[in-house]
A and B are shown apart, each in its own frame.
Chain A
Amino acid sequence: MNLRAKESMPVLQRDHALHLLREMLRIRRFEEKSAELYAAAKIRGFLHLYIGEEAVAVGVMQALEPRDAVVATYREHGHALVRGVSAASVMAEMCGKVEGCCRGRGGSMHIFDAATRFYGGNAIVGGGLPLAVGLALADKMMRRKQVTACFFGEGAVAEGEFHESMNLAALWGLPVVFCCENNLYAMGTALERSESETDLCLKAASFEVPSWPVDGMDILAVEEAARRAVTAVRSGGGPYFLEFRTYRFRAHSMFDPELYRTKQEVEEWKKRDPIPNFSVLLKEQGLLKEEDLDLIEAEVGAEIHEAVQFAEAGNWEPVEDLTRFVYSEQGRP
């Protein structure tokens, strides 16, 4: 199903289009593999899959520069991968190996990476929002033209920190792009069962923050909205709120009986799967041939295979490190 009328299609550069497709596939295949490894007890802790929502992270990241910052949620493997944290580093992290980006301590939910300015990974719903506002305040105080992209689910709007953070960012005109990934369910509770006002853009607008709803299943719509928002924010216009309407195809975590939604509903949303839909569109425009897709799949498969091998060959944290990094060592950072 193609959601866009043909005449509204932007002119696509082939390289960029294939890049978008590849990035979405990297997340999809990485997470499918992660689910396998979780079932095999090689990944421990929890595992929250982003499958179905890939267009959001991929589209938003296109608008960011290396100097910008990213704050994400516990469903952040995809964000980390697309931001440039290597698949090997993320996989090793999830497997608890010291070769991981947080030496195996962060795990699936707490991916941090200083080189790409990736500030987590956060197991607390809404917990990253004040942090993002702080990063942006630091940028403003130090007169840096940088942007912080802050991802959170629609469940976070029920937290007080959402309101405190939106207010501060708007009040002080801070460079934050608030990226709300509205997948309709806060774990198992539907939006209309948890919010008196379900129009999230209206909530954001009440803080005088420009707000746009975006089809989160359409990679091109996501990228376009993100570029517009990042440009406005970088030019000093204060924060921006984007509501990405999306859907997760898998359970909330690996322990979710999914009593809150019907199989039929899931199947309906799968018809809007951003990956096959985008592939079809590219084929229609003559930008993608079947052999291109095969090649991308093969390259992505090889990358993930290497990541898994790297993770499996990695080392466990030595017991001597148990209480390290609680405080600075020798009083130095």
Chain B
Amino acid sequence: MAKLTMVEAINLALKQEMERDPSVVVLGEDVGKNGGVFRVTQGLYEQFGDARVADTPLSESAIVGVAIGMAVYGLRPVAEIQFEGFIYAAMEQLISHASRIRTRSRGRYYCPLVLRMPYGGGIRAPEHHSESNEALLVHTPGLKVVAPSTPYEAKGLLVSAIRDPDPVIFMEPKRVYRAIKEEVPEEEYSIPLGQSRIVTEGRDVTVISWGAMLQATLKAAALMGERGIRSEVIDLRSLSPLDDETIIESVKKTRRAVIVHEAPRTCGLGAELVARINEKALLYLEAPVERVTGFDTVMPLPKLEQHYLPNAERVVEAMDRVLNF
């Protein structure tokens, strides 16, 4: 089995879905001739032509709006927003329309589009190229939000996202794009949306993270393992809808939880997870749930980036706090 990067795995998923289903089309800035700024769509234009791979102008609002129009009328558009920080220009289409067409029309119309975008820090890029804005999207009813953490996960989740009948925001951790390789089957497989993944089983503490933060979390878990602490690491994967069952069952077992995300702390997705744990497992807890997060400021460039992003040491400190409360 071939070992692929996340970029290659996503590319393979796009190619195979376009071969399988002629209604799958790709559009975005430089996704065609140029193969995408991160090369994720490389080769698609050559294989499928400009009828199915459209280079758009720098018109984020129109990219999302046009994808909505295609989606409500029989196509399966996969639009790319080049960097997560460019999505703000398209929020009107995304929040006011894509997320609401089904409910506004009470199911008469629906909007099966996928919006792919690289997100997150760690590549020494300035603010709009390093953000984690998932909470804005998760807060919007009607959108599904997915963040894969590895190449294998990315392929299987993207296949499900393309086949899903609802608008799915597919957040690709750009720091992971080429950082790790793993075996990715050429054969078709899919990973269902809405389900989190238990990466390592353990009974001492639950640690929840997603996207690029999974690597720091696993490193922390390994460090704690050397001290005999068995961590249960959960890759959240589906940020909306949340998989309450997996999270709550784990916390009931370990009685301690740490949440790791790189987005700013206030009203980050970690806050929602804490609330759900409190609502459903408060009396099981031996310690307040800890959050290891970015800071309530714009992503700093470049010197303070490593300070801003959670790392294994900060996760270990938080795990120590919940274990020694």
**B62 pairs with A165, CB closer than 8 A:** yes
Interface size on B, residues (CB 8 A): 45
**A130 pairs with B165, CB closer than 8 A:** no
**B65 pairs with A133, CB closer than 8 A:** yes
> How many A-B residue contacts, CB cutoff 8 Å?
143
**In the assembled complex, which residues on chain B have CB atoms less than 8 Å from the CB atom of A112?**
101, 104-105, 108-109
**B166 pairs with A328, CB closer than 8 A:** yes
Q: Which of B69, B110, B164 contacts A137 (CB 8 A)?
A: B69
Q: Which of B77, B92, B108 contacts A113 (CB 8 A)?
A: B108
Indicate if A119 sits at the interface (CB-CB under 8 A).
yes
Indicate if B112 sits at the interface (CB-CB under 8 A).
yes
**A138 pairs with B70, CB closer than 8 A:** yes
A264 to chain B, nearest CB (A): 38
B272 to chain A, nearest CB (A): 17
Kindly identify, within residues 58 to 97 of chain B, every residue whose CB is under 8 Å from any CB belonging to chain A. Answer: 59, 61-62, 64-75, 77, 89, 92-93, 96-97
From known contacts A135-B73, A168-B62, A331-B165, infer whether A127 and B97 are also in contact, taking CB-CB under 8 Å.
yes
Indicate if A297 sits at the interface (CB-CB under 8 A).
no
From known contacts A129-B65, A168-B62, A327-B166, infer whether A105 and B75 are also in contact, taking CB-CB under 8 Å.
no
Give complex CA distance A11, B308 in Å. 75
Indicate if B142 sits at the interface (CB-CB under 8 A).
yes
Indicate if A318 sits at the interface (CB-CB under 8 A).
no
Size category of the A interface is 35 or more
Indicate if A5 sits at the interface (CB-CB under 8 A).
no
Give complex CA distance A134, B25 in Å. 12
**In the assembled complex, which residues on chain B have CB atoms less than 8 Å from the CB atom of A160?**
61, 89
Q: Which of B66, B70, B71, B142 contacts A168 (CB 8 A)?
A: B66
**In the assembled complex, which residues on chain A have CB atoms less than 8 Å from the CB atom of B107?**
324-325
From known contacts A141-B52, A167-B59, A332-B165, infer whether A110 and B104 are also in contact, taking CB-CB under 8 Å.
yes
Indicate if A142 sits at the interface (CB-CB under 8 A).
yes
B39 to chain A, nearest CB (A): 24
B100 to chain A, nearest CB (A): 9
From known contacts A130-B69, A138-B70, A327-B142, infer whether A105 and B103 are also in contact, taking CB-CB under 8 Å.
yes
From known contacts A127-B93, A161-B62, A327-B142, infer whether A102 and B106 are also in contact, taking CB-CB under 8 Å.
yes
**A328 pairs with B68, CB closer than 8 A:** no
Chain A residue with minimal CB distance to B141? A326
B81 to chain A, nearest CB (A): 14
Kindly identify, within residues 286 to 333 of chain A, every residue whose CB is under 8 Å from any CB belonging to chain B. Answer: 323-328, 331-333
**B51 pairs with A168, CB closer than 8 A:** no
Indicate if A124 sits at the interface (CB-CB under 8 A).
yes
Indicate if A103 sits at the interface (CB-CB under 8 A).
yes
Give complex CA distance A164, B56 in Å. 10
Indicate if B314 sits at the interface (CB-CB under 8 A).
no
Indicate if A106 sits at the interface (CB-CB under 8 A).
yes
A10 to chain B, nearest CB (A): 35
**In the assembled complex, which residues on chain A have CB atoms less than 8 Å from the CB atom of B54?**
137, 172
Q: Which of B25, B57, B69, B102 contacts A171 (CB 8 A)?
A: B57
Indicate if B237 sits at the interface (CB-CB under 8 A).
no
**B75 pairs with A168, CB closer than 8 A:** no
Q: What 0/1 pattern do residues 8 to 27 of A give for CB contact below 8 A with B? A: 00000000000000000000
B40 to chain A, nearest CB (A): 21
Indicate if A205 sits at the interface (CB-CB under 8 A).
no
Indicate if B116 sits at the interface (CB-CB under 8 A).
no
B92 to chain A, nearest CB (A): 7
Indicate if A282 sits at the interface (CB-CB under 8 A).
no
Indicate if A157 sits at the interface (CB-CB under 8 A).
no
Kindly identify, within residues 148 to 170 of chain B, every residue whose CB is under 8 Å from any CB belonging to chain A. Answer: 164-166
**In the assembled complex, which residues on chain B have CB atoms less than 8 Å from the CB atom of A133?**
62, 65-66, 69
B144 to chain A, nearest CB (A): 7
**In the assembled complex, which residues on chain A have CB atoms less than 8 Å from the CB atom of B77?**
134
Give complex CA distance A130, B93 in Å. 9
Q: What 0/1 pattern do residues 282 to 315 of B give for CB contact below 8 A with A? A: 0000000000000000000000000000000000
Indicate if A114 sits at the interface (CB-CB under 8 A).
yes
**A164 pairs with B72, CB closer than 8 A:** no
**In the assembled complex, which residues on chain A have CB atoms less than 8 Å from the CB atom of B57?**
164, 167-168, 171
From known contacts A112-B108, A325-B102, infer whether A137 and B70 are also in contact, taking CB-CB under 8 Å.
yes
From known contacts A119-B72, A135-B73, A138-B70, infer whether A130 and B102 are also in contact, taking CB-CB under 8 Å.
no
From known contacts A105-B103, A106-B104, A164-B61, infer whether A131 and B96 are also in contact, taking CB-CB under 8 Å.
no
Q: Which of A105, A114, A324 contacts B104 (CB 8 A)?
A: A105
Indicate if A136 sits at the interface (CB-CB under 8 A).
yes
**B106 pairs with A325, CB closer than 8 A:** yes
**B70 pairs with A333, CB closer than 8 A:** no
Chain A residue with minimal CB distance to B112? A333
Q: What 0/1 pattern do residues 100 to 120 of A give for CB contact below 8 A with B? A: 011101100010111000011
Give complex CA distance A108, B164 in Å. 30
Q: What 0/1 pattern do residues 103 to 125 of B give for CB contact below 8 A with A? A: 11111111010000000000000
Q: What 0/1 pattern do residues 70 to 107 of A give for CB contact below 8 A with B? A: 00000000000000000000000000000001110110
Give complex CA distance A211, B97 in Å. 28
Give complex CA distance A127, B66 in Å. 11
Give complex CA distance A171, B50 in Å. 13
Can you list 19 A-B pairs with a CB-CB distance of less than 8 A? A110-B104, A112-B105, A114-B105, A119-B72, A127-B93, A127-B97, A131-B68, A131-B97, A134-B67, A141-B25, A161-B62, A164-B65, A171-B57, A326-B141, A327-B102, A327-B241, A328-B164, A328-B166, A333-B110
Closest 10 CB pairs of A and B: A134-B69, A130-B65, A164-B62, A103-B106, A134-B66, A164-B59, A112-B105, A328-B165, A135-B69, A131-B69
